[in-house]
Amino acid sequence: MGRDWQAEIDAWTERFRHVADPPEPFATALREGWDPAVRRSLAEAAEAYATRHEAWVRQIAGAGVDLVRLDTRGDDCGACRRYAGKGYSLRGETPGLPPPPPLPICPACRHTLNLLTPFFLQSTDTTVEDLIEQAVPYTPPE
């Protein structure tokens, strides 16, 4: 099911008024108002990203993957940053870890969910207990 990007863009525009470093194109929209073309292309890009992301999640969850980490590409905004690097449970098979946020979290950011294999965790000297201790459950914008 598609998300209502027009409603989300409205909600995030309000939310970004109170965030120190709003991402583009929200920063410009907060100063100058929304350019309808910019707003349309933001909604289209967010929907395309969400569709690709959902297909990826179905694929890896279907393959039995449960542990994932939310990663940013250095483009995280002040609202999404708190989830960066946190662990999530795709299939609800890791007690104590919340389900991942819907991506994109805000329409401007392009985060990814990456697999956390036991080998990878070991190589970064991280345990599932660490992930659970540092977990940040997603809270949708009010």
Residues near Zn ion (CB under 5 A): 77, 80, 106, 109
Residue closer to Zn ion by CB (options 77, 90) is 77
Q: Closest approach of Cβ 125 to Zn ion, in Å?
A: 28
Q: Closest approach of Cβ 21 to Zn ion, in Å?
A: 10
Structure tokens at 115: 């697999």
Q: How many CB atoms lie within 10 A of CB 140?
A: 9
Q: Closest approach of Cβ 122 to Zn ion, in Å?
A: 31
Q: Closest approach of Cβ 27 to Zn ion, in Å?
A: 12
Residue closer to Zn ion by CB (options 53, 94) is 53
Q: Closest approach of Cβ 6 to Zn ion, in Å?
A: 17
Residue 88 main-chain phi, psi, to 5 deg? -140, 155
Structure tokens at 120: 């990878």
Residue closer to Zn ion by CB (options 70, 94) is 70
Residue closer to Zn ion by CB (options 9, 109) is 109
Residue closer to Zn ion by CB (options 99, 141) is 141
Smallest CA-to-CA distance from 43 within 1, 7, 79 is with 7
